[in-house]
Amino acid sequence: MRNPLAPTRLLRRASLLLLVALLAACAPLPPRNPLATWVPSPNHDIRRPVLIVLHFTNQHSAQESLDTLRTKNSGGPVSSHYLIGADGHIYQLVSDQLRAWHGGPGHWGTITDINSASIGIELDNDGTTPFAQPQIDSLLRLLADLTDRLHIPRTQIVGHEDFAPTRKDDPGPLFPWPQLAAAGFGLWPQGELIDPPAGFDPWMALGLVGYPLEDRAAAVRAFHHHFRGMQGDTLDDQDLRILYNLAQIVERGTPLTD
């Protein structure tokens, strides 16, 4: 017996195939140089970030920051891959595979083009108040996703001020780096802090961690914000113990490269 619904099903299938073909035809092609003959090779890859940079927005709401990150502003256009609201809501503004404009000039170890090598995460915070716990909880979830999915080492998480200490002060001394460290994220001292041996060079250790040393006082301020949660631009004995500990960790691990 002939199925009266068969023609209808065939028509629906044909329509679906036609729609797929039309969508494929409308998909943007990768950029091609009109001066050259296109002979495609499968031997290529997408951008692979190796660093995650944390910022505070220094604004007063997530909506204000969303507007800033999607439009032009007085300092020129800026963006980030993610914004996390104080309530913990995660917004994505730029694909992980693309280069967001969040870092600007600076270097971390041998990484000299921060934007090309990193994922930028903005945190809705005015820079003077503690970070909300729902926001940090969402940040930890996002860090777990990014480091696992993009194969970024969990130690490769820094603040904006760490690589640009003469220009920036975010995420600042109120950011809870110890909480991130307890969850396994970021470079952090391990074990007992002991006095370094005679001849220990704290500046060499600070540079080995990744800090730029063109302005040593600025580098120490950023180091204090990150590892001590305090102000100050001169090194004390506790700083030397921390730097000795961190230098040993870095020497046992993988150098910072792009």
Rounded to an integer, what distance in angstroms lies between the CA atom of residue 77 and that of residue 101?
8
Which residues, listed in sequence order, are joined to residue 159 by a DSSP beta bridge? 54
Rounded to an integer, what distance in angstroms lies between the CA atom of residue 45 and that of residue 69?
27
> What type of residue sits at position 59?
Q
Cβ atoms of residues 114 and 108 within 8 Å: yes
Q: Please pick, among 122, 161, 192, 251, the residue that the annotation labels catalytic.
A: 122
Tokens of 27: 């998909």
Q: DSSP H helical segments within 57-176, as ranges?
A: 62-70, 114-117, 133-150, 160-163
Q: Which residue has the tokens 């604004």?
A: 59
Cβ atoms of residues 170 and 127 within 8 Å: yes
> What type of residue sits at position 177?
W
Residue 11 has phi, psi (to 5 degrees) of: -65, -40
Rounded to an integer, what distance in angstroms lies between the CA atom of residue 120 and that of residue 5?
54
Cβ atoms of residues 52 and 143 within 8 Å: yes
Indicate if 192 belongs to the active site. no
Strand order in the sheet with 51-56: 90-92, 82-84, 118-123, 51-56, 157-159
> What type of residue sits at position 161?
E
The residues carrying an active-site annotation are 122
